[in-house]
Amino acid sequence: MLRHLINVTCARCIGTAFPWGTFIINITGSTVMGLIAGYLAFKGEASQPWRLFLMTGILGGYTTFSAFSLDAALLYERGELGLAALYVAGSAALSIMGLFAGLAIVRHLT
């Protein structure tokens, strides 16, 4: 519901020439993911199911971009800079290509 509220509010207040709602959601979701992951890694004593509930369940309903950001950061933190770059570039490029492929398939079938 929060994601929808932000999208609608941004569209009404700022306009739709740029996807401000999604932009804000991705940034805030990734920031909150970092806060939760950092707290749980360094200070928290939460169980794995609780961590998954917070990070995948709650934040996943807000933005899946936060999980993507965490995965990229984990690769970077492990020193896997090439893999991190490949993951970021590949995810962005292939996801957009996948969306266009899906649109093309539906257009072809209808």
Within a domain: 108: no
pLDDT in tens, the chain (110 residues): 999 999 999 999 999 998 899 889 989 988 898 888 888 888 878 888 988 888 888 888 888 788 789 889 999 999 999 999 999 999 899 989 988 998 889 888 87
Q: How many CB atoms lie within 10 A of CB 33?
A: 24
Can you tell me the distance from the alpha carbon of 64 to that of 59, in angstroms, rounded to the nearest whole number? 7
pLDDT of residue 80: 94
Can you tell me the distance from the alpha carbon of 28 to that of 16, in angstroms, rounded to the nearest whole number? 19
Number of domains in the chain: 1
pLDDT of residue 66: 80
Within a domain: 41: yes
Query: ∠ CA(44), CA(49), CA(51), 5° rounding?
Result: 40
Can you tell me the distance from the alpha carbon of 34 to that of 29, in angstroms, rounded to the nearest whole number? 9
pLDDT of residue 98: 84
Within a domain: 97: no
Q: How many CB atoms lie within 10 A of CB 19?
A: 13
CA-atom Rg of the chain in angstroms: 17
Give the domain range for residue 27.
2-78
pLDDT of residue 73: 92
Residue 1, judged by CB atoms within 10 A of its CB (0-12, 13-18, 19+), counts as exposed
Within a domain: 109: no
- Give pTM, 2 decimals: 0.71
